[in-house]
């Protein structure tokens, strides 16, 4: 399926200033996101080797969201995989550590270069301990995100309009959020720390998959 999932859902999405495109199995041929793409994923749970990767959502920050409902267990998605590995396209995440590990496990790709707005927030916004996407979006962009569908069944045969809207909302504004966080990082002279953490993130994801997910490898003990 390519295009808004339902007439009612399309009307609601248009009112929110976004268009959702649902793709079965892979991104369509020839689709370009430019030099940077916001990415998130939906899974059956938060255990890396127990829970399947179900949906990947992407946006160029232009008001359009592309949702890929993956075909399990084969995960044959060559266009998506090519994009994730493209060295010329920056991939923007919020808590990319989990998504990057999921992509490595199920799609067999090493996703880079990457940017993580959660890491950027932790380095720039040291005046708070609230670094969840909902909190950061509210403060920096004045956008309220609903998390009502976060724990819904993403492996269902058909996604509901509410699930589609939720998935889209997580990527539509990551470009704008990155811009705000970059200003703060530059102002506080911390961009170099953030860049180094972003570069390490694919390695951190590989460590998670190799069994070090609960260990602080930099701790003394």
When divided into structural domains, the chain yields a total of 1
3-state percent helix, strand, coil for the chain, nearest multiple of 5: 40, 15, 45
Q: Are 95 and 115 in contact (CB under 8 A)?
A: no
Domain that holds residue 169: 7-212
Residue 197 lies in a domain: yes
Residue 217 lies in a domain: no
Residue 164 lies in a domain: yes
Q: What is the DSSP string of 148-213?
A: TTTTS-TTSSS--HHHHHHHHHTTTTHHHHHHHHHHHHHHTT-HHHHHHHHHHHHHHHHHIIIIIT
Of the CA atoms within 13 Å of residue 145, those in its CB half-sphere come to: 22
Q: Which pair of tokens denotes residue 101?
A: 């590990």
Residue 174 lies in a domain: yes
pLDDT tens, position by position, for the chain (221 residues)?
Answer: 444 433 334 434 443 567 999 999 999 999 999 999 999 999 999 999 999 999 999 999 999 999 999 999 999 999 999 999 999 999 999 999 999 999 999 999 999 999 999 999 999 999 999 999 999 999 999 999 876 666 799 999 999 999 999 999 999 999 999 999 999 999 999 999 999 999 999 999 999 999 999 999 999 98
Residue 120's Cβ-count burial label (10 Å; 0-12, 13-18, 19+) is buried
* R_g (Cα) of the chain, nearest Å: 17
Q: Residue 18 to residues 21, 117, 195: CA-CA distances in angstroms?
A: 10, 21, 30
Residue 2 lies in a domain: no
Residue 13 lies in a domain: yes
Phi, psi for residue 21 in degrees, rounded to 5: -115, 125
CATH number at residue 45: 3.30.420.10
Write down the pTM of the prediction. Answer: 0.90
Report which secondary-structure segment, H or E, holds 135: helix 133-141
Residue 220 lies in a domain: no
Residue 140 lies in a domain: yes
Distance of CA 67 to the CA centre of its chain: 11
| Spatial distance between the Cα atoms of 161 and 163, rounded to a whole number of angstroms | 5
Other CB atoms within a 10 A radius of the CB of residue 148 amount to: 11
């Amino acid at each position: 399926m390519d295009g808004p999932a339902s007439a009612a859902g399309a009307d609601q999405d248009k009112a929110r200033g976004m268009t959702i495109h649902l793709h079965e199995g892979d991104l369509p041929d020839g689709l370009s996101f430019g030099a940077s793409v916001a990415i998130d994923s939906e899974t059956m749970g938060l255990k890396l080797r127990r829970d399947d990767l179900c949906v990947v959502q992407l946006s160029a920050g232009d008001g359009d969201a592309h949702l890929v409902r993956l075909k399990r267990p084969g995960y044959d998605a060559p266009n998506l995989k090519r994009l994730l590995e493209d060295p010329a396209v920056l991939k923007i995440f919020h808590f990319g550590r989990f998504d990057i590990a999921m992509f490595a496990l199920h799609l067999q790709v090493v996703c880079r270069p990457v940017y993580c707005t959660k890491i950027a927030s932790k380095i720039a916004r040291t005046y708070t301990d609230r670094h969840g996407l909902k909190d950061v979006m509210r403060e920096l962009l004045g956008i309220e995100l609903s998390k009502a569908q976060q724990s819904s069944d993403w492996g269902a045969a058909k996604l509901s309009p509410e699930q589609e809207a939720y998935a889209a909302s997580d990527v539509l504004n990551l470009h704008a959020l990155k811009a705000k966080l970059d200003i703060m990082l530059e102002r506080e002279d911390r961009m170099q720390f953030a860049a180094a953490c972003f570069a390490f993130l694919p390695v951190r994801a590989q460590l998670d998959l190799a069994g070090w997910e609960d260990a602080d490898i930099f701790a003394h003990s």
